């Protein structure tokens, strides 16, 4: 099973992996040892993969320091040290999963937030599938009432996964949808309530106020709700996705990040930047369009797949 997961992850990271491995191969070509020219090429490779200038600089500094102490010759040695330093950064970042949710009284309430187009509604549906396969009773709430397509998409996921769904007519108050959904979840003794929210431009004050209102309504009905606020970021936008974290965190207090569309980008290095720069855990990654292609994030597994290990 572990082998299958790693193979699927490798497939999802093919574009990013190809860019990094080709760049490392190019960096050492014509050089026997790790000199400044090689380091410059490695730096360019990491930047091209969208690791970001701050995190890239940190990795290069560590490699340069190791180069003073260790003998590094050939591609294999360079690949090994780059891999080890990336893993060191990944392992030092905060980690959390949702396994603790099972010890919390039902329902466990998850708000899914993010800019439109990031895969937010799809993520809500895939979460419903994940929890449904674990034997949990799931309720979906279509609180993105501004887009009829979002509600329709969530209804399809509800049918696919066997989850219940609460929806109102288009243009309804999203907080009212959240209130009715939580009321229903309480009466039906639902295990997991997943609330899909609107995602118009994150810089718009009215959207953030609406998210705050949803959070207040949920907390007024059930102490501690929402228990999770998951922010969905689109990996294909690379570093440009990171500023969105501050906007949403100020509004609802983000508990975790879901990075979608990793399979469609050569900018998968943004995972490394997120782990390095943000104090919010990266919970899950999307590595394909299949219903089971939303995976719990494992730093070691990610680095192994990234380097073809």
**What's the chain's average pLDDT?**
90
Give the domain-ending residue among 91, 110, 139: 91
**Same domain as 119, residue 242:** yes
Instruction: Give the model's confidence band at 74: pLDDT under 50 very low, under 70 low, under 90 confident, else very high.
Output: confident
**Same domain as 62, residue 31:** yes
Higher pLDDT, 99 or 108: 108
The mean pLDDT value for 55-84 works out to 92
Give the 3-state secondary structure of 100-146: HHHHCCCCEEEEEECCCCCCHHHHHHHHHHHHHHCCCCEEEEEECCC
For 8-12, 225-229, 276-280, which range has the lowest pLDDT when averaged over its residues? Answer: 8-12
**Same domain as 235, residue 157:** yes
121-150 per-position pLDDT tens digit: 999 999 999 999 999 999 999 999 988 899
- Does position 70 have pLDDT exceeding 90, yes or no? no
β-strands 294-296, 282-286: how paired? antiparallel
- Does position 309 have pLDDT exceeding 80, yes or no? no
CA distances from 130 to 133, 139, 293, 304, 308 (A): 5, 13, 10, 24, 27
**Same domain as 249, residue 131:** yes
CATH number at residue 12: 1.20.120.140
The mean pLDDT value for 291-308 works out to 90
For 70-79, 253-262, 274-283, which range has the lowest pLDDT when averaged over its residues? Answer: 70-79
> Contact at 8 Å (CB) between 72 and 33?
yes
Q: Is residue 271 part of a domain?
A: no
**Same domain as 107, residue 46:** no
**Same domain as 105, residue 72:** no
Q: Is residue 292 part of a domain?
A: no
| Residue 193: domain span | 99-254
The helix/strand/coil state of 53 is helix
CA dihedral 289, 292, 295, 296 (to 10 degrees): 150
Q: Is residue 301 part of a domain?
A: no
Helix axes 148-161, 120-133, angle to 10 degrees: 20
Instruction: Give the model's confidence band at 101: pLDDT under 50 very low, under 70 low, under 90 confident, else very high.
Output: very low
For 295, phi then psi, to 5°, come to: -115, 145
CA 122 – CA 288 distance, rounded (Å): 11
Identify the burial level of 165 via C-beta atoms within 10 angstroms of its C-beta, where 0-12 means exposed, 13-18 middle and 19 or more buried. buried
**Same domain as 139, residue 250:** yes
**Same domain as 156, residue 16:** no
Give the domain-ending residue among 31, 61, 91: 91
> Contact at 8 Å (CB) between 231 and 254?
yes
**Same domain as 140, residue 56:** no
Q: Is residue 62 part of a domain?
A: yes
Q: Is residue 118 part of a domain?
A: yes
- Does position 97 have pLDDT exceeding 90, yes or no? no
- Does position 112 have pLDDT exceeding 50, yes or no? yes
In degrees, to the nearest 5, what angle opens at C-alpha 191 toward C-alphas 294 and 227? Answer: 75
- Does position 111 have pLDDT exceeding 90, yes or no? yes
Domain count for the chain, please give it: 2
Q: Is residue 186 part of a domain?
A: yes
Instruction: Give the model's confidence band at 201: pLDDT under 50 very low, under 70 low, under 90 confident, else very high.
Output: low
**Same domain as 209, residue 123:** yes
Q: Is residue 220 part of a domain?
A: yes
Instruction: Give the model's confidence band at 84: pLDDT under 50 very low, under 70 low, under 90 confident, else very high.
Output: very high
In degrees, to the nearest 5, what angle opens at C-alpha 124 toward C-alphas 6 and 260? Answer: 45
CATH number at residue 166: 3.40.50.300
For 33-47, 166-180, 197-211, 227-241, which range has the lowest pLDDT when averaged over its residues? Answer: 197-211
**Same domain as 129, residue 28:** no
Q: What is the pLDDT of residue 247?
A: 87
**Same domain as 130, residue 103:** yes
């Amino acid at each position: 099973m572990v082998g299958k997961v790693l193979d699927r992850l490798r497939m999802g990271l093919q574009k990013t992996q190809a860019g990094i491995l080709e760049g490392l191969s190019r960096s050492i070509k014509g050089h026997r040892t790790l000199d400044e020219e090689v380091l410059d090429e490695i730096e360019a490779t990491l930047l091209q993969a969208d690791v970001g200038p701050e995190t890239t600089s940190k990795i290069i500094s560590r490699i340069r320091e190791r180069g003073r102490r260790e003998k590094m010759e050939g591609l294999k040695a360079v690949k090994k040290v780059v891999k080890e330093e990336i893993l060191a950064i990944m392992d030092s970042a905060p980690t959390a999963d949702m396994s603790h949710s099972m010890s919390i009284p039902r329902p466990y309430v998850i708000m899914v937030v993010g800019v439109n187009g990031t895969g937010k509604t799809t993520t809500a549906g895939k979460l419903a599938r994940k929890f449904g396969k674990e034997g949990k009773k799931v309720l979906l709430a279509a609180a993105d009432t501004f887009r009829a397509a979002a509600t329709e998409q969530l209804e399809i996921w509800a049918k696919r996964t066997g989850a219940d769904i609460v929806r109102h007519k288009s243009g309804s108050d999203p907080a009212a949808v959240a209130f009715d959904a939580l009321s229903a979840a309480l009466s039906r003794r639902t295990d997991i309530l997943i609330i899909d929210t609107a995602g118009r431009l994150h810089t718009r004050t009215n959207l953030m106020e609406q998210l705050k209102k949803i959070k207040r309504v949920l907390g007024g009905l059930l102490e501690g709700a929402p228990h999770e606020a998951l922010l969905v970021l689109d990996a294909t936008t690379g570093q440009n996705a990171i500023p969105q974290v501050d906007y949403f965190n100020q509004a609802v207090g983000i508990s975790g990040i879901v990075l979608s569309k990793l399979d469609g980008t050569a900018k998968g290095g943004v995972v490394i930047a997120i782990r390095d720069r943000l104090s919010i855990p990266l919970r899950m990654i999307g590595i394909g369009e299949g219903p089971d292609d939303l995976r719990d994030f494992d730093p070691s597994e990610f680095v192994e797949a990234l380097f073809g290990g």
